[in-house]
Structure 1
Amino acid sequence: MMDILGLLGDGFWLAIQPVNLMLIIVGVTLGLFIGAMPGLGSVNGVAILLPITFLVPPASAIIFLAAIYYGAMYGGAISSITLGIPGASTAVATTFDGRPLALQGRASLALVTAAIASFIGGTVANVLFTAFAPPLATVALSFGPPEIFALMLLAFATFVGLGGDDIPKTIFSICIGLVFAAVGYDEISGAPRLVFFDIPGFLHGINFLVLAIGVYGIGEMIWTIDSTRGKITSTMAKMSFRGALDDTKEGMRRGWKGMGIGSFLGFFVGILPAAGATPGSLMSYGVTKMLSRNPKEFGRGHPGGVAAPEAANNSASTGAMLPMLTLGIPGSPTTAILLGGMVIWGLTPGPRLFTDQPEFVWGLIGSFYVSNFFAVVINIAFIPLFIWMLRMPFTVLAPMIFVLSIVGGYAATMDMHDVWLMLVFGFGAFFLRKLDYPLAPAVLAIVLGPIAEPTLRQSLLFSSGDPSIFFTRPIAGPITIIALILIFLPLFKLIWDKTRRPKSKPA
């Protein structure tokens, strides 16, 4: 332990060198605004700025890119809360409760809670990363297709077994999402499927960010216009020092459970190769809602619904670094770009990196702590600006949301087909809301579908079609059983209520 603390101290010293400290502050600030811009996100931000890192040493380069990654994780919540448009896929779950809080004039509570949860999630992940990097990397490697499918099944189960929503409508919403997730080429056979009306644009599948911006950008704007009949002018958002302190206390009091769940669950999901922060944030939201005493408050403006996904996506972003550094396996799309950068800089990720390049590794780990601190400070400092933006008349805000949604949808894939598709999703989401269908399960399904389907098929191919593989393996078995219990929990509750209900006496 003393050796780790000594190495971490050296890493801190490297991270706070003037050049590196300046790169951290610039990187976090850039990341904050990159994350807040719909359609950009950490992947595009890191990819765009990767070439300029060749002007500095490798340690400074990865510190700068990691700071952008951190800032983007914080920034994704900004447009989710203030405009209802997810800045990135990792911030979709933040929209569920962040946007309702903003519409209630409590945007400051949502933004402060998001910042604090992000800081706590990042801090917990940094400590876990520092203390348990090698053993956690080994645990991640033990997750094969059956274990990952069981984890995806558990994520679906948290939404089905919540009890607060209409279960048949929730299942229908999940099925719609799974259908959209299956559009394009079959990952195993390579054959095209569900190419609606033989339109070529469907061959590359449906981009998740296009669906998310359509549902939560265009759809939310139409819903607001329809529900207020054009009478809305602006939200009564305000910010003061005393108010910020009160929001901090309320966010901690009502969101502590979500922060805890998101911090640990997000990190664990983040270290799984190819999982990333988006599934982690959605799963953390579902688990937090399921364990809440008042699950019906979620989706209507509960701070816990902001805290859980924000803690999770920041925790997962650090977790995704772990398999990249220790195994050479990227844990998310952004870390895949970082991995490419390391190879270009002449570094070889893997188990020997910690012994061959200790200054590089521990400088990076030390920068995680420093970046996390500056990210929360810069984020809170900019909250009055975001509050001011919310006070604009809706007649100004609505066109801005529409333009940002169109630009964000096009930026994600550079394909006009996706822009038209986004508009269709926007109107579709509006009509589903009118019919009281929950949208969150469909979003969850289109995120997890591309992970769940191939792992299910690979598992069944491995076991020659025997589904018992999901129950007999030591890790997959317990996860699958818990998921099935949650799925059938509403049915058990219905049977229990009917058996306990007293029979009415005849008149």
Structure 2
Amino acid sequence: MEAFDLLFQGFGVLLTPDKISLMMLGLVLGVFVGVLPGLGGPNGVAILLPLTFTMDPTSAIVMLSCIYWGALFGGAITSILFNIPGEAWSVATTFDGYPMAQQGKAAEALTAAFTSSFIGSLVAILLITFLAPSIASFALKFGPPEFFAVYFLTFCSFVGLGRESRHKIVISLSLGFLLAGIGMDTVSGTLRMTFGTTELLRGVNFLVAVIGLFGVSEILLTMEERLALRGHVAKISPKVVLKVWLDLPRYWLTLLRSSVVGCWLGVTPGGAIAASFMGYNLAKRFSRNPESFGKGRIEGVFAPETAAHAAGTAALLPMLALGIPGSGTAAILLGGLMVWGLNPGPLLFVEQKDFVWGLIASMYLGNIIGLFLVLSTVPVFAAVLRVPFAAIAPMILVSCAIGAFAIQNAMFDVWMMLGFGVVGYVFKKMDIPLAPLTLALVLGSRAEDAFRLTMIGSGGDFRVFWSNGLVGTIMTLALIMLFWPLISALKDRLMPRGAHLQAR
């Protein structure tokens, strides 16, 4: 009952004219961001983050989260009508969504995608609602050792559970740590790596970095690929929506299975990509007619969309509760919280109840409004894709430059943004993930401060990290995640040998 009481308080915070207006604006901007080639959820949130600087934290996070929901919905439009995945996790949606559009069933495919997105997000939001109060119960037990253990767990989970090559993840993390160390040392007050310039005294601004890494780099990549957009026309009617919704009970097991998979993988780094493919593959495996997948089967749209959006939403739980972002967008929102003076983690649920529950309430309302918004305006948003990219790219680039300059009114930040854009472009060409770099840039200095305060308090004794059950459990789990690839390889090597001995 406590969760319901707090949730009603959150709706009380949210249901004001200004916040509802910001929610609608965020959803519309998000859908535009989702359908524009070369952008997507993380890029859109990064580019539009400076718009929220003059707002209070609750209004800002409501708008940004609605930009995220809108971008998730908009990505399905590009995947189904144009065969262009709006996000990495939208790739699986194209397998059956685009063939349905080719068969004249674009409206059915889009309705299925939007509806399953809503269902997956709803399940994840319910998970957040009922787990959040229990997280606040042990919030006051966290000190410097516990906070460092949580940061260490975050970095280890990226290395051990990441989908990319381990050495590429380490390269990305290392560069992020290096950049986080520029500026004034918060413990000793000395300057580090400023190279005699006053521009670097403040350090590398997180927002400047993400605008360049995500926004500018995507523009460069899209310009290189010279996308030629040829899509299918779709107009969703109430009759089509009703038909798809009446068919939903037939696929309840697929929706439930994909929701569970998405929620489970959402709390791990990069989980949405794995969730979408796993949801699709499980639906195909348990289908009575698996050979029909890839030829325009509606279940092939339900499964990946449900799993991906459950994962994308569930990624916000560890970000809010522990300061561990489960996705690139969550990492950007994490940085935004810090800009507004909020510290993500267990104490957030104690010190900023109105903020947290206002955000959770906005998840419910934003997804409901977003669902009906995209169902009624698909032709309008799809028409954006027919605008030549040569006209869109300069506007996006100017928006990025204005956002970077507005942060500190410094032209140096614009040049730094362009430099990060080149770095992001090179990293993407080399398949080096940007999420670990973003994470290390956001949390690197905080992890360093927590570690040094812990060492000062313990006199340099590392046993402090196993001095109580909470910090010891987190550190042990972090080490297991760090060496998980070796543990898995060792297990795979020993299992056949054991089976062979048993056979003998």
TM over 0.5: yes
Do residues 69 (structure 1) and 68 (structure 2) align? no
CA contact (8 A) 2:92 2:277 kept: no
1:387-441 CA-partner distances (Å, limit 9, x unpaired): 4434433222322332222222223333221211111111112222333323222
Give yes or no for contact 1:31–1:69 (8 Å, CA) kept in 2. Answer: no
Specify which of 195, 198, 208 is matched with residue 196 of structure 2.
Answer: 198
Is 1:312 aligned to 2:315, yes or no? Answer: yes
In structure 1, how many angstroms separate the alpha carbons of the residues matched to 2:373 and 2:319?
Answer: 24
What is the deviation of 1:464?
0.8
Give yes or no for the alignment of 1:259 onto 2:263.
yes
2:421, 2:478 → 1: CA distance? 31
TM-aligned CA deviation for residue 188 of structure 1: 0.8
Partner of 1:48: 54
Question: Counterpart amino acid of 1:311?
Answer: A
Q: 2:277 touches 2:304 (CA, 8 Å); kept in 1?
A: no
Shifted more, 379-388 versus 470-479: the winner is 379-388
> Counterparts in 2 of 1:361-400, with a 5 A limit?
371-383=362-374, 384=378, 385-400=380-395
Structure 1 segment 422-441 matched on structure 2, within 5 A: 422-441=417-436
Any idea what SS the aligned residue of 1:475 has? helix
2:148 touches 2:447 (CA, 8 Å); kept in 1? yes
Q: How does 1:240-389 map to 2 (within 5 A)?
A: 241=236, 254=258, 256-259=260-263, 262=266, 284-286=268-270, 303=305, 304=307, 306-313=309-316, 371-383=362-374, 384=378, 385-389=380-384
What's the counterpart of residue 217 of structure 2?
Answer: 219
Aligned counterpart, 1:452: 447
Q: Where does residue 408 of structure 2 map in the other structure? A: 413
Per-residue Cα deviation, 1:340-391 (whole angstroms, up to 9, x for no partner): xxxxxxxxx999999xxxxxx7xx9997776444322332344335444344
1:484: Cα distance to partner?
A: 0.8
- C-alpha spacing 1:236/1:146, structure 2 compared with 1 (3 Å): farther
Contact 1:146–1:455 (CA under 8 A) maintained in structure 2: yes
* 2:500 corresponds to: none
After the TM superposition, which residues 131-150 of structure 1 pair with which residues of structure 2 at under 5 Å, given as runs? 132=133, 136-150=135-149
- Alignment CA distance shift 1:463-1:71 (3 Å): same
TM-score using structure 1 length: 0.64
Q: Cα–Cα, structure 1 residues 48 and 141, in superposed 2: closer, same or farther, change >3 Å?
A: same
CA distance in 2, matches of 1:379, 1:482: 38
Counterpart secondary structure, 2:54: helix
Distance 2:175 2:349 in 1: 40
d(CA) in 1 for partners of 2:465, 2:137: 21
Q: Secondary structure at the match of 1:470?
A: helix
2:45·2:64 contact (CA, 8 Å) conserved in 1?
no
Distance 1:293 1:350 in 2: 33
User: 1:152 Cα deviation (Å)?
Assistant: 1.4
1:98-177 alignment runs, 5 A limit: 118-128=121-131, 132=133, 136-162=135-161, 164-177=163-176
- TM-score when scaled to structure 2? 0.65
1:312 partner amino acid: A
Tell me how far 1:149 sits from its aligned partner. 1.3
How far off its partner does 1:21 sit? 5.5
Q: Structure 1 residues 148, 9: CA separation in 2 closer, same or farther (over 3 Å shift)? A: closer
C-alpha separation between the residues in 1 aligned to 2:356 and 2:169? 41
The alpha-carbon distance between structure 1 residues 464 and 287, as it changes in their structure 2 partners (threshold 3 A), is: farther
> CA contact under 8 A between 2:156 and 2:479: conserved in structure 1?
yes
Aligned residues: CA RMSD? 4.9
Counterpart pick for 2:88 among 92, 97, 100 = 97
Q: Could you list the runs of 5+ residues in structure 1 that have no partner in the other structure?
A: 51-64, 84-93, 263-282, 321-330, 340-348, 355-360, 503-507
What amino acid is aligned across from residue 419 of structure 1 in structure 2?
Answer: V
| Alignment partner, residue 91 of structure 1 | none
Identity of aligned residues (%): 27
Q: Which secondary structure state, in structure 2, belongs to the residue aligned with residue 169 of structure 1?
A: helix
Residues 173, 438 of structure 1: 8 Å contact kept = yes
Task: Give the unaligned 5+ runs of structure 2.
Answer: 34-43, 76-84, 99-108, 282-302, 324-333, 343-347, 498-504
Correspondence for 2:468? 473
Distance, in Å, in 1 between the alignment partners of 2:221 and 2:8 is 53
Which residue of 2 is the match for residue 324 of structure 1? none
Separation in 1, partners of 2:164, 2:8: 51
Question: Mean alpha-carbon deviation: is it higher for 283-292 or for 153-162?
Answer: 283-292
For 1:84-106, what per-residue CA distance to the aligned partner results, in whole angstroms no more than 9, with x for missing partners?
Answer: xxxxxxxxxx9963576799998
- The answer to whether the 8 Å contact 1:39/1:412 transfers is no
Q: State yes or no: 1:402 paired with 2:397.
A: yes
CA distance in 2, matches of 1:184, 1:237: 51
User: Is the CA contact 2:217–2:421 (under 8 Å) kept in the aligned structure 1?
Assistant: yes
2:207 maps to which of 206, 209, 219: 209
Distance 1:181 1:236, change over 3 A: farther
Equivalent AA in structure 2 for residue 170 of structure 1: I
Contact kept, 8 Å, 2:90 with 2:276, in 1: the verdict is no
381 and 406 in structure 1: CA distance in 2 versus 1, 3 angstrom threshold: farther
Question: How far does residue 472 in structure 1 lie from its aligned partner after superposition?
Answer: 2.6
C-alpha separation in 1, matches of 2:338 and 2:183: 25
Query: CA deviation digits over 1:318-339, x for unaligned, max 9?
Result: 999xxxxxxxxxx996599699
For 1:193, give the aligned amino acid. R
Give the CA deviation at 1:194: 1.8
**Secondary structure of 1:198 counterpart:** coil
* Counterpart amino acid of residue 70 in structure 1: V
